A and B are shown apart, each in its own frame.
Chain A
Amino acid sequence: MPNPALLGTSTPVAADEPVYLVQDTFTDSDGVLLVNHTPDIDTVGGGWFGATQVVINSNKAKCNINNDLYFVFIDPNISDLVVKANINQRIGIVARASGDANLWLLGANGATLQRLLERTSNSWYVRSTTSYADVVDAPVVFTLNGTSITSTYNGQAGPSYTSSQHQSNRDTGIRYILTTNSADNFTIEAAS
């Protein structure tokens, strides 16, 4: 099956270059709602959807309300994928979501633990953890390929797990809980 990112173009792509299904540097005017913002690359074309509390701020995606859970999603049209972003503080990367009641979340609990949580029928289950130290704008990589779920935070191995739960769900995105949370350089590519 042809990669959807290549449909409609004759430009060859080098074998070692990532083919992004979604890419967003969140370059836009301050205050623009993420759901009204156009990503740099969005092969499906549906754009961001979900919480209207997430806005562009200094070319990053931030939440403008504290102390509740807010989710924004985008559909990459696949469920075996690699999500990358630069994140601050307790932001979470969400994958294999169907609404916000069934999903996988990679995110920190505060200052000490990086956690991989399964959310099924609105209940949260901590499936794997690693200790970590928060780093400003740290690169995070969340890979879901078949039943394998792995992650890295700032280049160090993060929580991992094996599960077929929610395996066919496609919605992918960001979880916010604090106004200090921000995300930048968000990409989705197919897992190999």
Chain B
Amino acid sequence: MNVAYVVTQWIGDGSYENPMMSELLGSYELKTEDITRQEASQITPSPNAFTIRIECDQSTLDLIAADERFIVLDVE
């Protein structure tokens, strides 16, 4: 299992059906945690970017790294 740090953006409208969440979660369902910890009052930031910690297998990490919407900062 890989641990990686990924820059993504907030998506959603804040409703329960469409909550504010990482764009990455819209494409991949995996273990994530928002490590930027921006206060709700500061969401959505400008520019719209924040960092999440993810845990995933190598094939999923390869897909995320190749996805132009995301920037993989580091892999443990």
Contact = CB atoms under 8 A, between A and B. Distances in A.
Contact of B14 (A112, A123, A160, A165): A123
Interface stretch (A19-27, A79-87, A128-136, A184-192): A128-136
A131 B16 contact: no
B31 interface: yes
Nearest to A113: B29
A123 B29 contact: no
B31 to A, nearest CB: 5
Interface string A109-122: 00011000110111
Contacts of A131: 29-31
A118 B39 CA distance: 10
A126 B22 contact: yes
B40 interface: yes
A80 to B, nearest CB: 19
A interface, over-half SS: strand
Nearest to B15: A124
Interface in B24-49: 25, 29-34, 37, 39-41, 43
B37 A124 contact: no
Nearest to A161: B33
A165 B30 contact: no
Contacts of A122: 14
A165 B29 CA distance: 25
B29 A124 contact: no
A159 interface: yes
Contacts of B61: none
Given A112-B29, A131-B30, A161-B33, 12 more contacts: A113-B29, A118-B40, A123-B15, A123-B19, A123-B40, A124-B20, A125-B21, A125-B40, A125-B43, A127-B34, A128-B33, A165-B39
14 contacts: A124-B20, A125-B19, A125-B20, A126-B22, A127-B34, A128-B32, A128-B34, A129-B30, A129-B33, A131-B31, A160-B33, A163-B37, A165-B39, A165-B40
